[in-house]
Structure 1
């Protein structure tokens, strides 16, 4: 197992458990405790965890993995969620996408649908099947080569954790566009506080996406239900649809439905 693979595995374990024990991690990864200690020391130097006596703990209220380490978590659920969300987006609509692993899957799903509808259209129809406005560099990179999609990228300062652009330049662009639908990935959904993310600058941009859209779709796997993160995006009254997996607790489904939100569980 390479160092990168070990680090990914350690961060996955930490995200799931909230803490790591050196001996237990060494057994799970089939390496020596000394190797695990070195790995944890290096990850702590990068501020990706906090070292403790005999192990490590996660940072913060709700632990944030860099996007490159999160891509494999709940992968099948996220792909099903993305496919269901793509079904809710009509041809020719203007779609806003914030950053994250689930919205990245949504971008791929809508690109496939847009490509299919473009092939079925008469040759003389040259208009894009879809317009996507995003502040996520990785989503923009994937969609830029798709001729059936018009891609609009906000300006801003890139956050290395999530590849999202934030700041006044981002706000300036979003203030000049009108969206049919905003599809938002989140880090937490609380029945009282609404939807949240780890960083206030990302939260403010996601909030602006929601404000510029006629309808708002939140896409998130059920592990985020009942979880809180540092920065609030908006309350439940700012959401129209939640697309999640079948693991969503019945009480949360009832709370969202009572708030007038359509729940799609796949």
Structure 2
């Protein structure tokens, strides 16, 4: 079993039982206690679990949102593969909205030099990475900048997204339910994500498999509004089938 698969199952068990403990997880996955502790540490750094003595509880109970720099270090290899696979979902020419997030930032970094796109984003780190790209016509959406995500929110951002119609939106999420909504901790971030979905002809969701089974406070979309999910190979087959049941094409990188 890959680390991403263990971590996804750990999140599911924590949500179902309210707590997981190291010895039980080690026995269930046939791994050492140290391996389980590394998994729990990675999930805790992403804000998906909260460590307690001997185990962990669901992070969503604590309304904790990790800083972007912290999230960027979690599942880095999987996020790189997701970003590279998502490049194939972009048009060769046309307009693209890039949502704020650690995986979308990797996608921005991976855009080839020959790319000729109009890119719209409200995320400062993405704009900084694309500002010197020779083929990108970059539009930066303004607003109040949230420190945790380095992304613009509130009325200015919402007005800007209402004024455009993009070919593709690349969307990020903090939580995803195979039979329910996409969620994020902050209501202002959720409002911007809803505006992004409405502003694009096609929506591509980039999400690490550990996001599935995680729920946050603010709902911004349903899977039925997504055209393609690009994720990693750790997403369980049953979850893939559930997602596809919403009419979503699933790409596992």
Aligned to 2:146: 159
Matched with 2:109 is 108
Deviation at 1:98, TM superposition (A): 1.2
SS of the equivalent of 1:103 reads: helix
Secondary structure of the residue aligned to 1:131 is strand
Post-superposition CA distance 1:221-249 (Å, at most 9, x none): 10001211111111121100000001111
Shift of 1:60: 4.0
The residue that corresponds to 2:80 in the other structure is 79
Question: Is the Cα–Cα contact under 8 Å of residues 48 and 60 in structure 2 kept in the other structure?
Answer: no
Looking at structure 2, the residues matched to 97 and 62 of structure 1 have their Cα atoms a distance apart, in angstroms, of 25
Match of 2:132 among 145, 151, 154: 145
* 8 Å CA contact 2:179, 2:243 repeated in 1: no
Q: Does 1:248 find its partner at 2:249?
A: no
TM-score norm. by structure 2 comes to 0.78
Match of 2:250 in 1: 263
Aligned 8 A contact 1:62 1:228 in 2: no
Structure 1 counterpart SS, 2:93 = coil
Q: Is the 8 A contact 2:170 2:204 kept in 1?
A: yes
Other structure's SS at 1:256 match: helix
Determine which of 184, 189, 200 is the counterpart of 1:202: 189
Q: Distance in 2 between matches of 1:146 and 1:167?
A: 28
| Selected match of 2:122 from 135, 141, 147 | 135
Are 2:50 and 1:18 equivalent residues in the alignment?
yes
1:82-118 Cα distance to aligned partner (Å, 9 max, x none): 0000111111121101111011111112x22xx1x36
Structure 1 residues 57 and 221, CA, compared in 2 at 3 Å: closer, same or farther? closer
TM-score by length of 1: 0.74
Task: Please state how far the C-alpha of 1:59 moved relative to its aligned partner.
Answer: 6.7
Alpha-carbon distance change, 156 to 255 in structure 1, aligned in 2, over 3 angstroms: same
Q: Root-mean-square deviation (CA), in Å? A: 2.4
For residues 223 and 146 of structure 2, what CA distance do their matches in structure 1 show?
Answer: 27
1:66 Cα deviation after fit: 0.3
Deviating above 3 A after TM superposition, structure 1's stretches of 4 or more consecutive aligned residues are: 10-17, 56-63
Q: What is the CA distance between 1:191 and its match in structure 2?
A: 2.1
Aligned residues: 213
Q: CA offsets per residue over residues 106-138 of structure 1, 9 Å max, x none? A: 1112x22xx1x36xxxxxxxxxx0111001011
Give the number of the structure whose alpha-carbon radius of gyration is greater.
1
Distance 1:252 1:207 in 2: 24
Identify if the C-alpha distance between structure 1 residues 164 and 80 changes in structure 2 by more than 3 Å, giving closer, same or farther: same
Q: How far is 1:193 from its partner?
A: 2.1
CA distance in 2, matches of 1:264, 1:11: 24
Of the two structures, which has the highest relative contact order with CA contacts closer than 8 Å and spacing of 6 or more? 2
Provide the C-alpha distance between the structure 1 equivalents of 2:42 and 2:181, rounded to a whole number of angstroms.
27
Tell me, which stretches of 5 or more residues in structure 1 are unaligned?
Answer: 1-9, 25-55, 119-128
Deviations 1:9-65 (A, max 9, x none): x886454651245xx8xxxxxxxxxxxxxxxxxxxxxxxxxxxxxxx9957456421
- Equivalent residue, structure 2, for 1:90: 91
Counterpart contact for 2:130–2:138, Cα < 8 Å: yes
